[in-house]
């Protein structure tokens, strides 16, 4: 019989820590909407993702993950003011979430540059491309939309 080494248990334990806890029916419906939105966003269907995350937020108001994903969707759609508002709310609710912080920092740098260009009269040009995140896809939570 083979023994399980502690190093092999670590990834499994981390995966188990990321799994959602058992929840009432309404919460699982919110999780379904959240996951549906993530799948839609990964396919580039941002309007569908936005719709699903709005539904999830109605079921689970104040969920920082949902707020973060909505912010990404609004940012992708060019509604930067709404994105900024949602990122701010997500950070207020979960100030220690590194992926939410990183998304906000990337967005903030991009948005400040865009506003500076507009102010300088260069707003007629193409907006700058948002920088790609430095994290690897496997480091992002399963419920995070693609960036």
pLDDT digits (tens, 9 = 90+) for 59-88: 999 999 999 999 999 999 999 999 999 999
Reference 108, options 134, 129, 80, 136; nearest CA is 80
Domains of the chain and CATH, by start? 25-126 (1.25.40.10)
Residue 129's pLDDT band, with cuts at 50, 70 and 90, is low
Tokens 């309404």 locate to 26
What pLDDT is recorded for position 53? Answer: 96
Residue 15's SS3 state is helix
Average pLDDT of span 84-112: 95
Per-residue pLDDT band at 120 (split at 50, 70, 90): confident
**What is the reported pTM?**
0.65
3-state secondary structure of 24: coil
In the block, residue with structure tokens 């040009």: 125
Mean pLDDT of the chain: 79
DSSP state of 60: S
Burial class (CB in 10 A: 0-12, 13-18, 19+), 101: middle
């Amino acid at each position: 019989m083979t023994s399980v080494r502690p190093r092999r248990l670590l990834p499994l334990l981390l995966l188990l820590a990321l799994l959602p806890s058992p929840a009432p029916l309404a919460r699982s419906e919110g999780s379904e909407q959240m996951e549906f939105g993530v799948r839609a966003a990964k396919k580039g269907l941002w309007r569908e993702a936005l719709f699903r995350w709005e539904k999830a937020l109605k079921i689970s108001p104040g969920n920082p993950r949902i707020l973060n994903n909505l912010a990404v969707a609004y940012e992708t759609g060019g509604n930067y003011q709404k994105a900024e508002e949602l990122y701010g709310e997500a950070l207020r609710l979960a100030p220690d979430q590194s992926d939410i912080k990183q998304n906000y920092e990337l967005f903030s740098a991009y948005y400040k540059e865009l506003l500076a260009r507009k102010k300088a009269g260069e707003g007629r040009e193409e907006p700058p491309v948002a920088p790609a995140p430095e994290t690897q896809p496997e480091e992002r939570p399963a419920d995070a939309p693609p960036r």
